Amino acid sequence: MTRPMLAGPRLWLRPIEVEDLEAHVAAVNDPLVGEPAGYTVPLGRAGAEHWFERTKERILTGEMLYFAVCELGDDRFIGAISLRGFEPVDGHAELGIYMDREHQGSGWGTEAQGVLLDHAFGELRMQRIELTVSPSNSRAIRSYEKVGFVREGVLRHVYWHRGAWEDAVLMSILHNEWMSGERPRSWEITEPA
């Protein structure tokens, strides 16, 4: 069976599968991975199975894309990337991403974003991709800026985290900005994220 995939020089994005749930649970329950990605409650196997079924439904109805990130030539789950909240008429969606602890800080997330943005702005003809990120997550912000996301503003008191309200930085990238080629494509980035 041929599975659809998107590939960069070091990684490929493939549909998430039930076999990925153990690695997904381990990643989102790791405080250095899950908390910055917005997972604030521990996830167990039953919760992951429910999430997986709901995610499959949302993929089938066209509400979202959700990919496992794998090293090229390997099927092992090392992270996840998604586009959700599709608005096909207006052409926008929200990007979400996390990489497991072993694949943080070495450009894997930056490359995964580039591969997915190529697909979103090319094949899917999206106009705008946005995301929110904690102002304290400087590593992620650098990665997003590296692929061309621009800070638009701060959303006040968006997350309840560790007993206090936390703001979120709103960032976006537009079709013409991505297609202009004025910033390096993810596969041209050589320094770590």
What tens digit of pLDDT does each residue of 102-157 get?
999 999 999 999 999 999 999 999 999 999 999 989 999 999 999 999 999 999 99
Predicted confidence (pLDDT) at residue 186 exceeds the cutoff of 80 = no
CA distances from 46 to 42, 53, 54 (A): 12, 11, 13
- Tell whether 189 is covered by a domain: no
Cα gap 40→162, rounded to integer Å = 9
Predicted confidence (pLDDT) at residue 40 exceeds the cutoff of 90 = no
pLDDT at res. 91:
92
pLDDT at res. 74:
92
Predicted confidence (pLDDT) at residue 54 exceeds the cutoff of 90 = yes
- Tell whether 102 is covered by a domain: yes
- Tell whether 146 is covered by a domain: yes
pLDDT at res. 83:
96
As a whole-number percent, the residues of the chain with pLDDT over 70 amount to: 92
Which of 17, 6, 11 lies closest to 121, judged by CA?
Answer: 6
Number of domains in the chain: 1
CB atoms within 10 A of CB 101: 13
CATH code for position 133? 3.40.630.30
| Long-range CB contacts for residues 46-52, cutoff 8 Å, separation at least 24 | 48/21, 48/24, 49/18, 49/21, 52/16, 52/18, 52/21
Predicted confidence (pLDDT) at residue 5 exceeds the cutoff of 90 = no
- Tell whether 193 is covered by a domain: no
Query: Which residues fall within 8 angstroms of residue 51, CB to CB, at 6 or more apart?
Result: 43
Q: Are 165 and 142 in contact (CB under 8 A)?
A: no
- Tell whether 111 is covered by a domain: yes
The tens digit of pLDDT for each residue in 66-79 reads: 999 999 989 999 99
- Tell whether 13 is covered by a domain: yes
b/e per residue, 131-145, with b = 16+ CB within 10 A?
bbbbeebeebbebbe
- Tell whether 152 is covered by a domain: yes
Cα gap 117→123, rounded to integer Å = 10
pLDDT at res. 169:
96
Residue span of the structural domain in which 10 resides: 6-184
pLDDT band of residue 182 (cuts 50, 70, 90) is low
Residue count of the chain? 193
pLDDT band of residue 1 (cuts 50, 70, 90) is very low
Q: Phi first, then psi: what are they for 40, rounded to 5°?
A: -110, -10
- Tell whether 191 is covered by a domain: no
